[in-house]
Amino acid sequence: MVTRGIRGATTVTHNNEEHILKETAVLLQEIVDRNEIQPEDICSVWITMTGDLDAAFPAKAIRQLDGWELVPLMCALEVPVAGALPQCIRFMVHVNTAKGQNEINHVYLNGAQSLRPDLAAPSNS
């Protein structure tokens, strides 16, 4: 097994706790489903969000999920680059896996699909 990074990003329409927690949970679930992973496979999750989002810590949504209590989570502020996508939450999920780099499915949802249109596959749901 090796450790791989899985990228993900989404946007919210409102800077409030409900939207931030909901979209964080949706993004995490898509990453888990598309990559067929379990919390036990996760080394850590690095979460950033843009400075215009300050109503909640996205990690709160993950810590409330069954089986995710022991997964190390870290939130940080995204680099404030002029013209960057607003109201954006980004993930870097470090996972232990036997999959090759080309088998990893990165997930970009909502407005974040514009960040990596080459990787923004439609949802399998």
Q: Would the annotation count 34 as a binding residue?
A: no
Residue 36's Cβ-count burial label (10 Å; 0-12, 13-18, 19+) is exposed
Q: Would the annotation count 30 as a binding residue?
A: no
Task: With residue 89 as reference, give the H or E element that holds it.
Answer: strand 88-97
- Within 13 A of 16's CA, how many CA atoms are on the CB side? 4
CA max distance for the chain:
40
Q: Which of 77, 79, 90, 71 is nearest to 8 (CA)?
A: 90
The pairing of strands 42-49 and 2-11 is: unpaired
Residues known to be catalytic = 7, 63, 75, 78, 90, 108, 116
Q: Would the annotation count 7 as a binding residue?
A: yes
Binding residue positions for prephenate: 7, 90, 108
